[in-house]
Structures are given as structure tokens and as C-alpha cells.
């Protein structure tokens, strides 16, 4: 196994982590920004008002995009396992 191969495997894994985590965190950040702007404009300082929409949108994203995310993870794992014989030799 060459150093270039290891770097490629780590690069692919890090890209998968970034892609899947951004898919979950991104909408929550956008909703949090909208709610925070609304709170600043109306001077409402309610903690549940900022937490509940982010929680709901995160759960919704996980429900909607969960099958795609699982497919991506399984494809990546299958690719890694199928490359083991070529990496050893």
C-alpha cells in the first residue's frame, strides 16, 4: 500500500463526512439564523423559540435524506471492502 493510496482513502472518507454532516447541519443553521433575526427584530428572548424549529428541521432532514445518506455510506463501505485485495498486494 502506497502513501498515495492511503491519502486517497482518507480524502474520500473526509469528503463523505463533510457531505453527510453538512446535509444535516446546514438547514439547521439556516433556520437558526432566520429565527435569530426574527427574535432580534421583535425582541422576543424565548429559548424554546430558537431550539424547537432547529430540532424539527434537523429531524425532518434526517427522515427525508436518511435513505440517501445510508446508501452513500454503504456504497463507500462496499467500495473499501472490495478494494482490500488490491491494497494488500
Q: What ranges do the domains of the chain cover?
A: 3-88
pLDDT digits (tens, 9 = 90+) for 50-74: 889 999 999 999 999 999 999 999 9
pLDDT digits (tens, 9 = 90+) for 21-50: 999 999 999 999 999 898 889 888 887 788
DSSP of 16-68: HHHHHHHHHHHHHHHHHHHHHHHHHHHT---HHHHHHHHHHHHHHHHHHHHHH
pLDDT band at 14 (very low <50, low <70, confident <90, very high): very high
Q: Is the pLDDT of residue 89 over 90?
A: no
CA–CA distances in Å: residue 18 to residues 9, 21, 22 = 14, 5, 6
Amino acid at each position: 500500500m502506497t502513501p498515495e493510496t492511503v491519502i486517497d482513502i482518507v480524502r474520500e472518507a473526509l469528503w463523505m463526512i463533510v457531505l453527510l454532516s453538512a446535509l444535516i447541519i446546514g438547514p439547521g443553521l439556516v433556520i437558526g439564523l432566520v429565527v435569530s433575526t426574527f427574535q432580534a427584530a421583535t425582541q422576543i428572548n424565548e429559548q424554546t423559540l430558537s431550539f424547537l424549529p432547529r430540532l424539527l428541521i434537523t429531524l425532518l432532514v434526517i427522515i427525508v435524506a436518511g435513505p440517501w445518506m445510508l446508501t452513500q455510506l454503504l456504497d463507500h463501505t462496499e467500495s473499501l471492502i472490495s478494494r482490500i485485495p488490491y491494497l494488500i498486494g
